[in-house]
Chains A and B, each alone.
Chain A
Amino acid sequence: MFKKIDRNKLIFFGGLIGFYLVIQVLQLMGIVTSFLSTILSMGTVLAIVSLGLNLIYGFNGQFSLGQWGFYAIGAYSAADITYRWSNNQDTSALLVLLFSVILVGGAIMILYRTLSRLRGLDALSAFVIYLLATFGFVFLSIKLGGLLTPAMNSALGALPEWLSFTIVYILAVLIAGLVAAEISFLFGLPVLTLGSDYFGIATLGFSIIVKVLLDNSDTLLGFEEMKGARGMIGIPKVDDWGWFAVFAFFMIVVVVTRNLLHSSFGRAIISVREDEIAAKAMGIDVGFYKTLTFVIGSLFAGLAGGLYAHVNAFLHPDTFNFIRSFDPLIVVVLGGLGSMTGTIFASYAYLLVVEWLLRQILPPGFENWRFVVFPVILLIMMLLKPNGLFGNFEMPFLRQLLPPLKKKPAAEAAAAPQEAAQ
């Protein structure tokens, strides 16, 4: 049994690394143009977003349209951090967000422990407590960040440029994920008490709010460098090893999701999708697992956003409007709800069709046909293969093996009552 698992692991990681190396070699040979490799990066980013959504919708059963909003939050927070560093050698955004993420995250964890012990505290009152704590700690982080910025500026400035930028970039992506995760916790707390359809509408509202805020980011939010509806330019593009970073994060996300789903916690997450009432009666804290999944899914969206900002080097609020928020949903449904393999393949397929086939191969003007092509594909899918392209199929490494039966003593087996009928 163990040899088999190891072989699956080997094939999976070997395949992924092989895929990466082949792309790398093809890039060097010039067969894969920089346009194509950007598409591959974007496909990987989309796969990360969609894996997060698959966790929320496919495995936990919560219909969410908010994934794109968290993606936007991740993209803009990471972009702001690296923008300020590479253009002004200013670490204020990095420090403020770093402190907020750590302090608010810690506060949320401690508060969650204490508040869940209280009897009869309803979700909205808990939400107010969390919100007040968040505001308090964010204010504290702004003060703290302001104090420490000059010291940090000179400390990072003393390092060689490539090293300091790498540190800022990696931190920015991680912070982007955590920012999205913490916002999703605050948002999910009152909203996750809603039933599935209403939850979907509320999350759609969230995506729209985020988009409108980004449209007015320079005036309403006061971030000059985001330039509101004109689009944020001047984000450093991570070109030479950006593809590597994207792929590394992708692999981490795949492994974390897979491990989580194959543990007892994953089964608890899936039980909520299967039957909430039965899950509750079986000792599963349904509220906790809904929140947990939503937070992890949004964490992935935030990470992907941070990566996307540095692949594209240009952010525009229109990228994050609510029509696009259906992108990950289409991918997840096409690939198969509850199939990680399907999600991964569908992400690349989607990007190839949208960006390469419709834009490059077919005559100009066809790119707008995606609004026709995808609904039609979805319709046909729903009619012919409602489980998605891959259904319940998983690649060997991602598939859960059935544990073998242990041979039990014959005496005990005889003691078990035999059913008369059947």
Chain B
Amino acid sequence: MSGKNNMTVDEKMATVKIKIDKEAHITVKKEFCKKCTTRTCLIICTAENYKWDEERVELIFNYEGCLECGACRLICPEGAIDWSYPKQGCGVKFRFG
């Protein structure tokens, strides 16, 4: 917890309690991402889970830090992101929702 202004999203995410699922609830068809010019998922994700790796030229993502808003699923222009709710009791646990 921090009182300073301009916390990064990663610092903010440290306040969220998440039970990590062994199985990923997000899958991305990465070959589609290479053709993608907009990469809206990088902007829309409120947890900034999607990042573009310039060296490896591929989309990297971290399903473990997902806030489960599901916006990425709606906006992917290539339809490459398959997002569903984490299984049986896993995932985010808001204490002050």
Asked whether A and B interact, the reply is: no
Q: Which residues of A come within 8 Å of B, CB atoms?
A: none
Q: Which residues of B come within 8 Å of A, CB atoms?
A: none
